[in-house]
């Protein structure tokens, strides 16, 4: 029997043009039974998953769309039994980069048909007093990186991948850092006395379309990579930004790295960015890693 796929994407998203979508659906339809649901309204995702419980979800989009699909599957109690396919059609596509999924959508469609399920870890945000909380598939960062994403958002339609670099420049010029305490597996690794420019928690390796936040991170090794930057002086911010793009920022004396399964960041209210989705400033956030919590179809090699 042919595999049954549920392809989903937002036709209004920047990377989803009709010609590419048709080409992708044509490839998928050559090896599977495929239906496509457009994700245009807030309830479209849950309705599509409910109407097609026996189909494998295939995301036509970027990290943000994938994030929403996996979060919906987790909320429905279906994450363990429904593997997910990914066609990178977003701006950054950072998880696809980490997994080696082709950035060409048509080639990625062939991986969905011919690849193999790969178990991946999942960072789950602990619920706050308002009952909030969420997940992280690829990476979450608080501080200047999140501020850079906020400033990059209106630039994406024009600058595409370069928007994050422009946003980072704007944020880096103005940021003075935040007083934050950071704990990794219960150990206090930043005590709040020094201002922190950025805290990154990487399940995947990169953010912002290939910026290597956690160069050594693997999304299936059972550990999150944590980066704490104290580079808050004007020249320090500039040097940190340059080395971050090159993946050499861990070499700096004012950058510390750790690995663990539980991460807590608290102190001054600070903005966050989880898988490209902006989160408002909050005084406390914490995440716990769940090993092999979900599966994505990845290249066999």
pLDDT tens track for 26-49: 999 999 999 999 999 989 999 999
What single-letter DSSP state applies at residue 138? S
Which one of 72-86, 202-216, 274-288 scores highest in mean pLDDT? 72-86
Q: Is the pLDDT of residue 165 over 90?
A: no
**d(Cα 210, Cα 222) in Å, to the nearest integer?**
22
- Give me the pLDDT at residue 227, please: 97
Length of the chain: 301
Q: Is the pLDDT of residue 267 over 60?
A: yes
- Give me the pLDDT at residue 159, please: 47
Strand partners, 202: 139, 225
**d(Cα 222, Cα 246) in Å, to the nearest integer?**
25
Q: Is the pLDDT of residue 285 over 90?
A: yes
By percentage, how much of the chain surpasses pLDDT 70?
Answer: 87
User: Would you state the structure tokens that stand for residue 11, as one six-digit string?
Assistant: 């036709």
- Please report how many Cα atoms fall inside a 13 Å half-sphere around the Cα of residue 179, on the Cβ side: 4
Alpha helices in the chain (DSSP H): 18-29, 44-51, 63-75, 94-99, 105-114, 144-152, 156-159, 162-174, 234-246
User: Would you state the structure tokens that stand for residue 231, as one six-digit string?
Assistant: 């580079």
Segment 266-289 mean pLDDT: 92
Confidence of residue 127 (pLDDT cuts 50, 70, 90): confident
Strand partners, 180: 267
Segment 143-157 mean pLDDT: 67
Confidence of residue 208 (pLDDT cuts 50, 70, 90): confident
Q: CA gyration radius for the chain?
A: 19
Segment 228-253 mean pLDDT: 91
**d(Cα 173, Cα 168) in Å, to the nearest integer?**
8
- Give me the pLDDT at residue 2, please: 82
Question: Distances in Å between the alpha carbon of 126 and those of 123, 133, 146, 267, 275?
Answer: 9, 5, 19, 16, 16
What single-letter DSSP state applies at residue 139? E
**d(Cα 258, Cα 300) in Å, to the nearest integer?**
30
Confidence of residue 180 (pLDDT cuts 50, 70, 90): very high
- Give me the pLDDT at residue 131, please: 43
Segment 210-239 mean pLDDT: 93
Confidence of residue 92 (pLDDT cuts 50, 70, 90): confident
Contacts of 244 (CB under 8 A, 6+ apart): 211, 212, 213
């Amino acid at each position: 029997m042919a595999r049954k796929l549920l392809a989903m994407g937002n036709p209004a998203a920047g990377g989803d043009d009709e010609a590419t979508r048709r080409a992708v659906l044509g490839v998928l339809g050559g090896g599977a039974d495929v239906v496509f649901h457009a994700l245009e309204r807030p309830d479209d995702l849950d309705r599509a998953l409910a109407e097609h419980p026996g189909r494998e979800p295939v995301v036509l989009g970027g990290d943000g769309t994938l994030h929403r699909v996996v979060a919906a599957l987790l909320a429905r109690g279906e994450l363990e039994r429904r593997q997910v396919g990914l066609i990178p059609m977003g701006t950054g596509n950072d998880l696809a980069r980490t997994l080696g999924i082709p950035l060409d959508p048509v080639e990625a469609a062939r991986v969905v048909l011919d690849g193999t399920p790969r178990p991946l870890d999942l960072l789950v945000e602990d619920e706050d007093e308002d009952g909030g909380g969420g997940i992280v598939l690829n990476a979450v960062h608080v501080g200047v990186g999140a501020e850079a994403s906020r400033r990059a958002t209106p630039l994406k339609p024009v600058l595409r991948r370069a928007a994050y670099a422009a946003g980072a420049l704007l944020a880096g010029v103005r940021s003075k850092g935040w007083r934050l305490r950071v704990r990794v597996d219960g150990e206090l690794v930043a005590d709040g006395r020094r201002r922190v420019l950025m805290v990154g928690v990487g399940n995947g390796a990169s953010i912002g379309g290939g910026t290597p936040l956690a160069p050594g991170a693997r999304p299936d090794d059972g550990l999150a990579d944590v980066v704490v930057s104290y580079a808050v002086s004007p020249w320090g911010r500039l040097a940190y930004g340059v080395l971050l793009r090159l993946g050499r920022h861990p070499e700096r004396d004012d950058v510390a790295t750790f690995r663990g399964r539980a991460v807590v960041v608290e102190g001054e209210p600070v903005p966050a960015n989880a898988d490209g989705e902006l989160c408002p400033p909050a005084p406390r956030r914490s995440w716990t890693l769940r090993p092999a919590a979900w599966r994505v179809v990845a290249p066999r090699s």
